[in-house]
Amino acid sequence: MWLSARVLEQHLFAYHFLHGSPDPVEAALDAYRNDDGGYGHALEPDLRGPVSQPLHTTHALRVLDEIGRCGGQRVERVCRYLTSVSHVDGALPAVHPSQRGYPAAPFIPVVGAPHSDLLATGPAVGLLHRNDVWHAWIFRATDFCWQAVESLEKSHPYEVEAAMVFLDSVPDRPRAQAAADRLGRLVREQRLAALAPDRLDAWPVSPGYAPGEHHFPHDFARSPESLARAWFTDDEMERSLDHLVAGQQEDGGWPIRWRRWAPLPTLESRSLVTIEALRTLRAYGRFVG
């Protein structure tokens, strides 16, 4: 973390594991905020450039949620920004066309008329619900997420992860439980979670993913409280966590599993996945030092 992480992740690491204050995290995050209420400046490392984007802004909500400050006027401005870039159905595009002209990962296409995307909308709506934020945009976006989640027939791991952020926090718990049960059956039927990490050649990688970009039970259920935890047996989850522990590299960090396209995004992303790995292990009672 001290070798290559950004200032934001260094403060976030200190907050989670070294009894640090949330104040420096919040101050570092402000450097990424734009006048329109959204966030940019490569907060999500695979999208470069200064312009606000839904993925950057959801990333900011995730940080604010982690430090217990996802509320107030800042989040009100975020909701106004999300309203301004959403479609008529309330859904967000994965990438707003304003990204055109700035570098972006080749697996994140910038198109002139992007479609409504659960991958972008689900996490934003879920994080806002988790923090009891109410705004007119959230009602429309919630309706979109319900329709998108309940109509999924074929999916891929990142979309399922986005759906789970929504389902783990949306207020209608019986409906969320039913949707999660159905989604869990889909994950197992379509073999989206590698249940035997020692035999990864037996598990397919989703189309468009990098070679070896497998997903594991702990990627879907990042804590025992997630509805996705019920999808996996105790043995499957233990093997998944053992595999996560084994993935730590000599410098103490974890590698990214998705396609590497430029040196700096790779370095910046490693600190993100390292904090995520440590938080997941701690949530399951694994010692993290």
DSSP state of 210: P
- Please list the rounded mean pLDDT of every run of 10 residues in the chain (289 residues): 96 97 98 98 98 98 98 96 96 96 95 94 98 96 98 97 98 98 98 96 94 97 98 98 97 96 96 98 89
- The pLDDT value recorded for residue 289 is 66
- CB within 8 Å of 83: residues ≥ 6 apart: 135, 136, 137
- The pLDDT value recorded for residue 215 is 98
- Read off the tokens for 262: 């430029």
CB 232 within 8 A of CB 5: no
- Read off the tokens for 109: 């296409």
The region, left, alpha or beta by phi > 0 then psi within -120 to 50, assigned to residue 154 is: beta
- Read off the tokens for 255: 């590698």
Start-to-end Cα distance in the chain: 14
| Secondary structure in 3-state letters for 66-102 | HCCCCCHHHHHHHHHHHHHHCCCCCCCCCCCHHHCCC
Q: Rounded to whole angstroms, how far apart are CA atoms 228 and 143?
A: 21
Q: Rounded to whole angstroms, how far apart are CA atoms 160 and 174?
A: 19
DSSP state of 28: H
Q: For residue 114, which of 149, 89, 150 has the smallest C-alpha distance?
A: 89
Q: Say what the pTM is.
A: 0.96
